[in-house]
């Protein structure tokens, strides 16, 4: 059973950079896409971006100038960096596996999720 676990600081100061890591266990990070999704308190879900195990990325244009997602296949983990933080970036950050079923015309969907990491941006 694939499991994902986010880790990183829970409190970050405004203008600084958020760094989170997602550790993948129970399966290889290879051959899949991996995504970050966030949810501000009491609000809906926002897709941040994804990375393929090979390193290719796709980011949400609304965050693209501030986001970097990277992968370390040797450690079976991937990471999120989000810079120039403001209070609006306060959210629960989820990592998730992206199932690519486009070859079957099923598209892409998030089939495994981490438990989420609350990140608060405050001085």
Partner 1 sequence: DIQMTQSTSSLSASVGDRVTITCRASQSISTYLNWYQQKPGKAPKLLIYAASNLQSGVPSRFSGSGSGTDFTLTISSLQPEDFAVYYCQQSYNTPYTFGQGTKLEIK
Of 16 and 63, nearer to partner 1 (C-beta) is: 63
Q: DSSP assignment, residue 103?
A: G
Does 116 help bind partner 1 (rule: CB under 8 A)? yes
Q: Does 108 bind partner 1 (CB under 8 A)?
A: yes
Contact stretch for partner 1 (CB under 8 A) within 11-19, 21-29, 58-66, 67-75 = 58-66
**DSSP code for 62:** T
If one asks whether residue 47 binds partner 1 (CB under 8 A), the answer comes out as: yes
Other CB atoms within a 10 A radius of the CB of residue 121 amount to 19
CB 77 within 8 A of CB 27: no
| Position 62 contacts partner 1 (CB under 8 A) | yes
Alpha carbon distance 112, 55 (integer Å): 20
| Chain residues in the site for partner 1 (CB under 8 A) | 44-47, 58, 60-62, 94, 96, 99, 101, 105-111, 113-116
């Amino acid at each position: 059973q694939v499991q994902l676990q986010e880790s990183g600081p829970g409190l970050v100061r405004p203008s600084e950079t958020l760094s989170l890591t997602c550790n993948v266990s129970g399966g290889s990070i290879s051959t899949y896409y991996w995504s970050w999704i966030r949810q501000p308190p009491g609000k809906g879900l926002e897709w941040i971006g994804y990375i393929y195990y090979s390193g290719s990325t796709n980011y949400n244009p609304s965050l693209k100038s501030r986001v970097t997602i990277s992968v370390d296949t040797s450690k079976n983990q991937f990471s999120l960096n989000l810079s120039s933080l403001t209070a609006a970036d306060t959210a629960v950050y989820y990592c998730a596996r992206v199932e690519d079923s486009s070859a079957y015309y099923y598209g892409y969907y998030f089939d495994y999720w981490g438990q989420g990491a609350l990140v608060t941006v405050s001085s």
